[in-house]
Amino acid sequence: MPEVLKLYLDQMLHLDVAQALRDEGHDVVRASEVGQARSDDQEILQKAIDENRILVTLDEHFGDWVILPLSKHPGVIRLKVHPTTSKNIIELLIPFLRNHSHRQLKDHLIILSKSRAKWVYTA
């Protein structure tokens, strides 16, 4: 059975994505559920770090270290999905999570698309 991961979903990810991840057994919190619906990227990242949760986002800024420098964190998964429907996000993210542990994701930025997963060590 895959490891239960603690995930923090950025504000642009909808409830049906969170529910699909919960149905897989993951511990999921959405930014909009904890008062961060309008928070900036740094606040979102800090909340994920404070709660030891892997951040899942569609936000391109998490791949641009000039805008948002990364160092030590539980992991950031930046999804590149077109079109950005919940169905496409779920079909990309769930199989990836089934094959990875919290330990593997720690201190990595993973840029995940249908064709590849680019892993960047950030610590």
Q: What is the pLDDT of residues 28-77, one digit of tens each?
A: 999 989 888 778 888 898 899 999 999 999 987 765 554 456 778 899 99
User: Do 9 and 56 meet the contact criterion of CB atoms below 8 Å apart?
Assistant: yes
Residue 93 has pLDDT above 50, yes or no: yes
Answer yes or no: is 1 within a domain: no
Average pLDDT, the chain: 90
Q: Which residue has the tokens 């049906």?
A: 16
- Give residue 68's pLDDT: 56
Q: Looking at the domain assignment, is residue 28 inside a domain?
A: yes
Taking the model in full, what pTM does it have?
A: 0.92
Name the token pair of 79.
């999804």
Count of the separate structural domains present in the chain: 1
Domain containing 107 equals 6-121
Instruction: Report the pLDDT value the prediction gives residue 119, as an integer from 0 to 100.
Output: 94
11: nearest Cα among 75, 33, 80 = 33
